[in-house]
Structure 1
Amino acid sequence: MSRWLSLIFIACLTGTLGLAGSSQVPETSTPMIGEEPAITRHMSQADIEAGNVSLDELIAHGRDLFMASFNSLDGAGRPEQTGKGAPRQRREIPDNFNRISGPDANACMACHNLPAVGGGGDNVANVFLLADTFPFVNFDGDPVENGPNNTLKTIGNERNTPGMFGSGFIELLAREMTADMHAIRSSALAEARISGRPVTAALVTKGVRFGSLVVSPDGSIDTSAVEGVNDDLIIRPFHQKGAAVSLREFTNNAAIHHHGMLSVEQAGEGEDPDADGHVNELTVGDITALAVFQATLPAPVQVEPATQMEREAAALGRRLFHQVGCAMCHVPELPLASLEFEEPGPFNSDNDLQPEDVSSTLSFDLSPFIKNLKKDEQGRYLIPVFTDLKRHDMGELLDTDALVQDGIPKHVWLTRKLWGFASEPPFLHHGRATLISEAILAHGGEAQAPRDAFADLPGDQQAALLEFLLTLQIEPD
């Protein structure tokens, strides 16, 4: 067991995962006797903006929140609210938790724990996306609680837990790609107005093609040829569908769905929409700390195999990875112009903190959180993510969702980031593949040709390609 995991295990046993030393709220002189909330202090966003909180303090507070087992004294649970914020009939013990419609977990780390805190999760921690729109799923035939004639397969979309290591770099890449495409659109609008003719603009950023758009002189835009991204041209790099724009959005939504912990951003200052008697359950500063903790989780690495035979096989496997076409979507490296992470991000939704809401954005350098960083000839940092951050048609076998998520077709998925994925089995969006080879063979649609090329390889070459993929790990602490 690694030193980090050992400390976490000891802390869990001794009950020392409270947040007593990680916030800027003054400590009271009177100790609390008996049961107490997991969050004994909250983080002040005003202190963050004033520069009174160091990055290390912010990360530590975010880590403590991520590991905390929220309880009723924190405001955990949402008696009169669904995970989407709609009112529902009051639910208390024994109906305060629901494995399908939620709340379904006490802690972030309860699901995000493989191979360490912040990672992926076993199938036992799978969630049922969009089932939280229902008040209390129990399949008793009540159409209000369960919808008409729903089954376990149709009530929601099953999802395996995604790992968050390296996610700060992922969000930065998405921001730059979004800015690139917005600049292309603005340039086309200006050209169309000046020329008086329609302008077709190819949407290419960091070598990834997202189709094209046509801009008319009157300012109207035809987005029918846009591919792999919403018509607003905003890259959403989180969730298997590519549905969340930022770690902040991801965190705010997960807090209410899984834990019934309502953030001030979602519920409002001093408001108690879930009627549990608690307000300000997660402050704006708490969410900032959680986002920063996840943004600074170290980038995954490529681990060199132990023996010369394995190293030679992995080297061959990397060549085969390109040869069969895997690298067309699982792009090994994407260039990043800046490692400066700003929170809140520029493309957050109206429900999340935005740059105009703060007096000063938090800014910090991500370079300490990645190893063996290389640059291209233009001086850009090459981030080894193995994705194109684009959505693709993945074929019939992966068309498993019962419900449409955010208007994204059910057979369409965001290209999986392969860095670190070998440390986070099982595989695929629902965790149905226990082997990497099973996940590859489940590919279809736009990935049919690479899938077939892999299947046609001799057994020893398939093994070599898999040996290469097994080097993409989360480094042990």
Structure 2
Amino acid sequence: MRLDRWNKVLLALAVLAAPVLPVFATGGASGGPAHPDIPSLNDILADLDSGQLDLDDVRAMGLSVFATPFNRHDGFGDGAFDAAEGDNLAFGHRPTLQGNGTFLRLNGLDAQSCNECHTIVSNNSRVPTLGFGGVGGAVQNAVIMPSMIDVGDSQDDRVQFQAGHDPDLQMVEDGVADYNGRFANPPFLFGGGGVELLGKEMTADLQALLAQARSAPAGTVIDLDTKGVHFGTVTSDGFGDVTLDVEGIGPEDITGLAAEDVLVVRPFGRKGENFTMRDFDRGAMQFHFGIQPVEVVGEDEDEDGDGLANEVTVAEMSVLHIFDVTNPKPVQGRLDRAAFRGKRTFMNLGCADCHRPEMSTEGRRIGLAHPEVANDPSANVYLEIDLARAAGFDRGRHGGLVVPLFSDLKRHKMGARLAETFERGELANDEFITARLWGIADTAPYLHDGRATTLYDAIEFHGGEAQSVRDAFLALPAQDQQNLLRFLGTLRTPTRPNEELVPLLN
């Protein structure tokens, strides 16, 4: 195998200090992995440790999982439709469109590979630049759990929403194609490792504050602050229990939540639903492809009844995660005088209160775990990767990394114009995690569903907590607005990302 000293990462093999992971099967009588050339996770770790593999070799395995189309022999698709299941929108037994037996499109079963929806590296030219790990256009939007789509506004069927979501929608025919569901535009993967590392460190901070509150005297109020972001407060009752008053993190109602779901920063998903890229991938495998991960359903289990088990193995999910977190970070282009003035306006208006230009990590190495524990990022770590070398992040003054993401990784209320219409959601329809602006010059369309085709439109759509900043922008002289947009135009995606991996697959 090729050895590249520059790309070889500093590896901390937790198998030296933790129980050895079991060797997972690479197939069985009822099915097998889609990528049989990928060895077990233990073998991969051993080969990395011995130098037989370097990081790019493993990243290339992950690219193979990311880009190779799944088919029915791999386990693509759900099992037979079963009305007895009770929820026809859930994974496993969804109907297919017109009974075609393969695709549904309107609730997943809508692609054969991750790469189908993540191909646009730059839309900032007449001819888009394509590659691995980019954004998707509106045609690639995910249509999520729709129970009603009135495409012709043909009847007075506007959805009535649960309390706390959208109770005041008018019941009129108004040119709106009413829709009860979610509509999500695919983001890029670039820089995802730095974002995941930030989220893990923030979660660790919040868990430490929670533990501090449990042992504090009655009435003690502790601010849930991490990396300069405020997530509410926790109050001690003096007997080991606490009262949480959280904001911008977790479901609206935390009553009855398992401990591992409380005070967990979830940077991924438009609403902030997933705590790691692997966590996102687990759901995406099931939703988009009907592929059942072994780590979700169990080894040799055919949960969807399609006649195949072990559809995607722990090793395949692990190399995909390694590919995810080592995607190169977006880049800052040169600031001319107008862009520099625009950056100053961006800061002065208050845009940076939520779109924080950068956050810093304490360490440079991201720990990858299996199985993952949401509220304990240090549990079950099998591999550490130096993101300064692997993904191009700059090192900070205190030994960590500078992550120039332009986000606070917190959910905010964004007003009625951006609110979704989804009555099954656990998160408020008008709340979204702050969009990361790095790379935004190349990634139109904008906002959670791609409704804004220009950056000006994206700003104009802001409301809710961002209403005053949006209004201040619209009140600026035209030249000041253009300067700010010119600054945003310097936030670029990486050039030719992941192309160095392709020869390793041949």
| TM bracket (short chain) | 0.7 to 0.9
Pick aligned residue for 2:272 from 221, 242, 245: 242
1:161 to 176, 186, 192: 186
1:45 aligns with 2:41: yes
CA RMSD of the aligned region, Å? 3.0
- 1:69-108 correspondence to structure 2 within 5 Å: 69-80=69-80, 84-85=90-91, 87=93, 94-108=100-114
User: 1:366 is matched by which residue type in structure 2?
Assistant: L
Identity of aligned residues (%): 35
- 1:149 Cα deviation (Å)? 11
**Secondary structure at 2:58 match in 1:** helix
Q: How does 1:134-153 map to 2 (within 5 A)?
A: 153=178
SS at match of 1:130: strand
Q: Tell me how far apart the structure 1 counterparts of residues 79 and 475 of structure 2 sit (CA, whole Å).
A: 54
Q: Deviations over 1:19-72 (max 9, x none)?
A: xxxxx999xxxxxxxxx9963434412323445554222211110111111111
**Whole-Å separation in 1 of the counterparts to 2:187 and 2:109:** 18
Query: Is 1:451–2:470 an aligned residue pair?
Result: yes
Structure with the bigger percentage of helix: 1
Tell me: CA distance 1:385–1:88, structure 2 relative to 1, closer, same or farther (3 Å): closer
CA deviation after TM superposition for structure 1 residue 304, in Å: 1.8
Aligned to 2:319: 289
Aligned residue among 456, 467, 473 for 2:486 = 467
After TM superposition, give the deviation of residue 346 of structure 1 in Å: 8.4
State how far apart, in whole Å, the 1-side matches of 2:216 and 2:371 are.
26
Check conservation: 1:25, 1:41, Cα contact below 8 A.
no
Match of 1:328 among 339, 350, 353: 353
Match of residue 284 from structure 2 = 254
Q: Which residue of 1 aligns with 2:427?
A: 408
TM superposition shift of 1:277: 2.2
Which of 406, 429, 452 is the aligned partner of 2:448?
429
Code of the aligned partner of 2:409: L
What CA deviation, in whole Å up to 9, does each residue of 1:280-309 have, x standing for no partner? 11100000111110100001011126xxxx
Whole-angstrom distance in 1 between the partners of 2:471 and 2:96:
52
2:240 is matched with which residue? 219
Kindly indicate whether structure 1 or structure 2 has the higher relative contact order, using CA contacts under 8 Å at least 6 residues apart.
2
- Amino acid across the alignment from 1:289: V
Q: Are 1:112 and 2:118 an aligned pair?
A: yes
Cα distance in 2 for residues equivalent to 1:429 and 1:371 = 27
Question: Where does the alignment leave 5 or more consecutive residues of structure 2 unmatched?
Answer: 1-23, 27-31, 82-87, 122-130, 151-158, 162-175, 255-261, 497-506
- Report the secondary structure of 1:438's partner residue: helix
The structure-2 alpha-carbon separation of the partners of 1:41 and 1:93, relative to structure 1 and needing over 3 Å to count, comes to: farther
Structure-2 separation of matches of 1:249 and 1:170 = 14
Q: Of 362, 370, 373, which aligns to 1:337?
A: 362
Counterpart CA distance in 2 for 1:470 and 1:160 is 20
Task: Give the partner amino acid of 1:403.
Answer: E
- Structure 2: which amino acid aligns with 1:235? V
Q: Which residue of 2 aligns with 1:198?
A: 219
What amino acid sits opposite 1:125 in the alignment?
A: Q
Given the two structures, how large is their TM-score scaled by the length of structure 1? 0.81
Q: Give distance in 1, aligned partners of 2:265 and 2:103.
A: 34
Which stretch shifts more, 337-346 or 233-242?
A: 337-346
How does the TM-score come out when normalised to structure 2? 0.76
1:361 aligns with 2:382: yes
Alignment of 1:228 onto 2:224: no
Q: Is the 8 A contact 2:118 2:136 kept in 1?
A: yes
Does the C-alpha gap of structure 1 residues 256 and 374 become closer, same or farther in structure 2, counting only changes over 3 Å?
A: same
Query: 1:268: Cα distance to partner?
Result: 1.5
Question: Residue 286 and residue 258 in structure 1: after superposition, are their counterparts in 2 closer, same or farther (change >3 A)?
Answer: same
Give the residue type in structure 1 aligned to 2:404.
P
CA shift for structure 1 position 154 = 2.8
Q: Tell me: CA distance 1:388–1:68, structure 2 relative to 1, closer, same or farther (3 Å).
A: same
What secondary structure, in the 3-state scheme, does the structure 2 residue paired with 1:440 have? helix
Q: How many Å separate the matches in 1 of 2:494 and 2:294?
A: 35
8 Å CA contact 2:327, 2:391 repeated in 1 = no
1:420-440 Cα shifts (integer Å, max 9, x gaps): 122111000010000011011
User: Structure 1 residues 37 and 250 mapped into 2: Cα distance closer, same or farther (>3 Å)?
Assistant: closer
| Distance change in 2, residues 1:371/1:287 (3 Å) | closer
| Matched position secondary structure for 2:485 | helix
In 2, the alpha carbon distance for the partners of 1:252 and 1:152 equals 31
* Aligned residues between the structures: 418
Partner SS for 1:361? strand
Letter of the structure 1 residue corresponding to residue 57 of structure 2: E
Distance 1:256 1:160 in 2: 18
Q: 1:128-161 CA distances to partner (integer Å, 9 max, x unpaired)? A: 1234xx7xx999xxxxxxxx99997434200111
Counterparts in 2 of 1:213 and 1:152: CA distance versus 1, 3 Å: same
Q: Distance in 1 between matches of 2:326 and 2:391?
A: 9
Task: Quote the Cα distance in structure 1 between the aligned partners of 2:183 and 2:215.
Answer: 44
1:250-284 CA distance string (max 9 Å, x none): 00110111011111112211111222222111100
1:316 aligns with 2:337: no
Letter in 2 for 1:123: A
> 2:437 — aligned with what?
418
Partner in structure 1 of residue 306 of structure 2: 276
- Distance (whole Å) between structure 2 residues aligned to residue 256 and residue 152 of structure 1: 28
Which secondary structure does the structure 2 equivalent of 1:323 belong to? helix
Deviation at 1:76, TM superposition (A): 1.0
**1:221-268 CA-partner distances (Å, limit 9, x unpaired):** 1113x1111251110000010001111110011011101111111221
- Asked if structure 1 preserves the Cα contact closer than 8 Å seen for 2:406 and 2:438, the reply is yes
Q: Higher mean Cα deviation, 158-167 or 36-45?
A: 36-45
Match of 1:130 among 145, 170, 180: 145
Whether contact under 8 Å (1:111, 1:161) holds in the other structure is yes
Unaligned runs of 5+ in 1: 1-23, 27-35, 140-147, 306-310
> Which letter maps to 2:213?
A
Partner residue, 1:57:
57
- In structure 2, C-alpha distance between the alignment counterparts of 1:277 and 1:260, rounded to whole Å: 13
